[in-house]
Structure 1
Amino acid sequence: MKRLILLRHAKTEPLTDAVSDFERKLKKRGIVDANLVAEDLKKRSYLPELIISSPAKRAIQTAGVCAAVFNIPESEIMEERFVYDGDTTARMVAAIAGLAGEYNTVMVVGHNPDVATLSMQLSGKDYFHFPTCAAAVISFAVADWDE
């Protein structure tokens, strides 16, 4: 059994001329929300061994808050540019399929519309509302990620 947790980054500062989209930070509310979502996932025994994150500051901060709750060392947060660049969901699926079999539960921290699109694609649902810091947990009855 493999489990994928798709998480949209938490609430951020607004986009301004002074700060690029890539450098936007979490608001205090975003930090609180990320902690609450991670605690809820932990309570439900959804514990990732690896976090893949967009390198955007808001996603890395969200991943860091989650990693602290899950007791994951920061070395187990992989920054992947394709998660930020809005590459096709096919690129995300290919990256997930290439994961080592030792990881049973993996979290991807990214952005909309990509996390919503991937959630719909993998779950077979027609619509997924994905507000900031929303999570989708999708389980696969497979032994390896590439199945």
Structure 2
Amino acid sequence: MHRLILMRHAQAEASSPSGGDEARPLSNTGRKEAVRMGQTLAERGLTPDLALVSSAVRTRQTWDQMHDAFGDVEVRDEPRLYNAPSDVLRRFVESCEDEAGCLMLLAHNPGVHVLATEYLSESAASPAILDRLAGGFPTAAAALFTVDVAGRCVFEGFLTPRDLGVA
């Protein structure tokens, strides 16, 4: 793996018809966020070879809104990514590092945010970068990392829907 995209699902409705959190669908804004993020990542050459996607409705719908921008990508729906803590997310990333040149992990906060912050700390990111992520990890945000020869995730960028003009 030479690139990693850690992404949080797009904005979801406050509730689901069934009442369960895992079944919450995307909002209209969330659908727009996901489409725009997919387009932006693809325009920047950040197309995943493999996408690990939480099985929650909102993460699946986020991927569904993004996938046209990417073309043919192997996708794995993974129930264990639902609300997983950072250590579980990290194990998924590490288990797939030899399977893809560019890996996308599409999951939930706080796990995604914590893992991104851990990678930043481990790669000795600048205080300005740490401050940017300290402000939160909004819906449909993506932390972008280059993976060096030693396997360290080095910060490449952080995109939010607001940065892309989606509010």
CA contact (8 A) 1:54 1:83 kept: yes
AA at the equivalent of 1:122: Y
Q: With a CA cutoff of 8 Å and minimum separation of 6, indicate the structure with the bigger relative contact order.
A: 1
Matches within 5 A, 1:1-147: 2-15=2-15, 18-73=18-73, 76-86=74-84, 88-99=85-96, 101-124=98-121, 125=130, 127=134, 129-142=136-149
Moved over 6 A (4+): none
Q: Secondary structure at the match of 1:79?
A: strand
Structure 1 position 82, deviation (Å): 2.1
Separation of aligned partners in 1, 2:92 and 2:150: 17
Q: What stretches of structure 1 of length at least 5 have no aligned partner?
A: none
Cα distance per residue 1:94-126 (max 9 Å; x no partner): 221111524110111111111100100112236
Separation of aligned partners in 2, 1:100 and 1:115: 17
Q: What stretches of structure 2 of length at least 5 have no aligned partner?
A: 122-129, 153-167
Separation of aligned partners in 1, 2:38 and 2:8: 12
Separation of aligned partners in 2, 1:97 and 1:3: 12
Separation of aligned partners in 2, 1:89 and 1:28: 28
TM-score (norm: length of structure 1) = 0.86
Q: Secondary structure at the match of 1:11?
A: coil
Distance 1:44 1:82, change over 3 A: same
Q: Secondary structure at the match of 1:93?
A: helix
Structure 1 position 128, deviation (Å): 5.2
Distance 1:17 1:34, change over 3 A: closer
Separation of aligned partners in 2, 1:63 and 1:92: 17
Cα distance per residue 1:28-72 (max 9 Å; x no partner): 211111010111111111110111011000001111222221013
The size of the alignment, in residue pairs, is 142
User: Alpha carbon RMSD of aligned pairs, Å?
Assistant: 2.1
Separation of aligned partners in 2, 1:109 and 1:45: 18
TM-score (norm: length of structure 2) = 0.76
